[in-house]
Structure 1
Amino acid sequence: MYTHKFVSSIDEVSPHDWQALCTDNLFCSYSWLSALEHSGCVSKDTGWKPHHLLIYQDAVLVAILPGYLKSHSYGEYVFDWSWAEAYQRYGLKYYPKWLCGVPFTPVTGQRILCKELTLALTEYILTTLKHGCQQTAWSGAHINFLTEQLTPNRNFMTRYGVQFHWQNNDYVDFADFLSALTSRRRKMIKKERQQAVNSGLHIRWLSAGEIDDVMLEHFYQCYQNTYIKRSGHQGYLNFTFFKLILSTLPESVRLCAAFEGPQLVAASLYLCDKHTLYGRYWGALEDYQTLHFELCYYQGIEYAIKHKLNNFDAGAQGEHKLTRGFKPVVTYSLHHIANPMFSAAISDFIQREHRHIEQYIEQCTLVLPFKQQ
């Protein structure tokens, strides 16, 4: 028999119990999510109030859904602003909503943390979320960036998205990767890499143990500077968060940094697990020609090849990744909308959107740079 409860802090679950269900899921790990909470990056004040769902079977914890009550839609990367605007036009409240996902992190992965996701457990979880919407003021319940589709449930809609990931085809080195591309794209990439070299900057890969407080502060300045230039506001993550993950996830953190003399002037922060390299946070003090491509893409590809990693996820969006060897991959999210009228309208929207995404993926494959598609 299943039972459940919601908790308002990850501290209400022991790290041992959390990790026993999370296994090697980096971004849903206790270390990553607790760093977000303990740094204050996620809280009621930031619009990410922790509200994790715990599932028990005969009083034994068998599943966890990292969850948050949202008062806005920032930092999710599954965009539902038009849904919120439609609610507003009808004088209804779209917020709060309940979201299962990793704040500020559009990385696909296990979202229902459990040892075995059975049909019975899936049904209980989705029914619990539906009832949660009925019993509270939530407009809906959402699960973002699942590894794959769950068993179809009539109360939840599956929404599809597209990202661009690089996949390792057992390349020996970067030159071997380039040999798989058309001549035109090889020349483009070589030219961009040479421009980065011509900047006169020295590029180094650093492990967590090599990143001292001064270097971390310089990276953080780069991160905030670029965020403000791009979006007009500061980045979602604070210095305390980055400091915490250096100490709690040292085996996973890597920094690809560019130095002008002894001074760090640009950097891309990566994380890695056994199979995948994740490019997450980029920043620079000034604009350097093609340096973004070098630190965020080409250096990452080289690292993945050298360390025999299967995949390289360089972040959300970015069609320019296609011509640099990143292929389109499908992402999944699940959505329950409590209001029947809006549920029907959004379901129709998602179906039409899915057809467009299928066509979009076909178009993307036509511009891939590989000699043999």
Structure 2
Amino acid sequence: MLKAVSSALSIKREDWDRLANPADAEFNPLVGHDFFRCLEESGCAVAKTGWAPRHLVMEDGEGRLTGIVPCYRKRHSYGEYVFDHGWADAFERAGGRYYPKLQVSVPFTPATGPRLFAASEAERRDLASGLIALCTEEKASSVHITFLPEADWAALGGRLWLQRTDIQFHWLNQGFASFEEFLAGLSSQKRKNIRKERASVAKAGIQLRALTGAEIQEKHWDAFYAFYMDTGARKWGSPYLNRDFFSLIGQAMAQHILLVIAERQGRMIAGALNFIGSHALYGRNWGSLEYHDNLHFETCYYRAIDFAIARRLPRVEAGAQGGHKLARGYLPQKTYSLHYLAHPGLQRAVANYLESERRGIDQEKEALAAHSPFRQEQDF
């Protein structure tokens, strides 16, 4: 049986986490019940902000939960990082109604992870069919499953589910014992530039602290929220996360958080928020109150690499966009999304567009890879 519920709190934490983070798979804190609960309890991902939870759940004949899909009924396309504004504009100019739509994602989080929480491919297919039925029930124009694993993208893509790709930049750990060993694999110019960037931050009198678990206190969240709001307001006008959210994640999942704080003259001036998985460090938010050359690179990218090497994490996912990451050792990786559009005409038009877009993404990835900062003999 399939049904939609209006809150993650309607689902037992142990059931959600059993399906989202099974014991035999990579652990990803961003798909855990705690993260979704904090988004809802803080008022960040709720109907008032245009993210009305419509989480799909599947039960077997004995009432045991066998599948979950984190799904939202949306009246806008903000906070998703896979852009469909052009589709919405074209459809509405033609007399259609694009909103509401259904969005399957972790709100405000462009990090790859499971989206159809179920043990088998057959059950994930049942969940995907359930999403199409929910789209009809909700009188929505479409369903969008974003940042899902490539295997699910390949298995579910086809006539009903249109396939889309994009590019992010990830740092890949080749078993490096130290940051210097990582640098040794770069071309001499890139190696020199990174050393110069790191030295410039130290020369400015800036110290950085990497905080996890109980080390993170409310004073740090106060400071980080100020960084986040200042930088977010300047970049895109209306940041998505509120102060309560940071306190809630600090209480619920501090052991899965890396908060890098930059200080100058005894004052906290910048910070970067990361989440710690079993196989990846997920870079999420950054902000600063002062501008200093290369502070962003040191706080967000180099300290993340330091941490991943120390924890022996296979990769760092540094979030959306940012070709400047390439010169700093972060390599292009494809991301994946699936899209169901209920209107046949819109479905055909978007399908044609996506076929061309996918070719362009492949060409872009190939061109970016040709500018790898690593020495040619390095094999990645």
Q: Place the TM-score, normalised by the shorter chain, in its bin.
A: over 0.9
AA partner of residue 181 (structure 1): L
Query: Structure 1 residues 365 and 217, CA, compared in 2 at 3 Å: closer, same or farther?
Result: same
Match of 2:53 among 47, 50, 54: 50
1:63 partner SS: strand
1:247 aligns with 2:251: yes
Query: Which residue of the partner structure matches residue 195 of structure 1?
Result: 200
AA partner of residue 261 (structure 2): A
Matches within 5 A, 1:1-373: 3-23=1-21, 24-58=27-61, 59-114=63-118, 116-119=119-122, 121-150=123-152, 151=155, 152-231=157-236, 233-372=237-376
TM-score (norm 1): 0.96
Deviating more after overlay: 246-255 vs 132-141: 132-141
**Structure 1 residue 359: Cα displacement:** 0.3
Distance in 2 between residues matched to 1:368 and 1:167, nearest whole Å: 13
Distance in 1 between residues matched to 2:169 and 2:60, nearest whole Å: 39
Contact 2:117–2:124 (CA under 8 A) maintained in structure 1: no
TM-score (norm 2): 0.94
**Structure 1 residue 158: Cα displacement:** 1.2
- Structure 2: any 5+ residue segments left out of the alignment? 22-26
Contact 1:101–1:143 (CA under 8 A) maintained in structure 2: yes
Distance in 2 between residues matched to 1:220 and 1:72, nearest whole Å: 25
1:85-124: per-residue Cα shift (whole Å, max 9, x none)?
Answer: 111211211110011100000000111112x2233x2332
Aligned residues: 368
**Structure 1 residue 302: Cα displacement:** 1.1
Contact 1:42–1:49 (CA under 8 A) maintained in structure 2: yes
AA partner of residue 232 (structure 2): Y
AA partner of residue 143 (structure 1): I
1:260-280: per-residue Cα shift (whole Å, max 9, x none)?
Answer: 233211111111112111111
1:258 partner SS: strand
Distance in 2 between residues matched to 1:109 and 1:367, nearest whole Å: 28
**Structure 1 residue 126: Cα displacement:** 2.3
Deviating more after overlay: 145-154 vs 217-226: 145-154
Distance in 2 between residues matched to 1:160 and 1:180, nearest whole Å: 29
**Structure 1 residue 208: Cα displacement:** 3.2
How large is the Cα RMSD of the aligned pairs? Answer: 1.2
Distance in 1 between residues matched to 2:306 and 2:17, nearest whole Å: 31
1:367 partner SS: coil
**Structure 1 residue 234: Cα displacement:** 3.1
1:196 partner SS: helix
**Structure 1 residue 326: Cα displacement:** 0.7
AA partner of residue 83 (structure 1): W
1:205 partner SS: strand
**Structure 1 residue 216: Cα displacement:** 1.4
What is the percentage of aligned positions where both structures have the same residue? 39
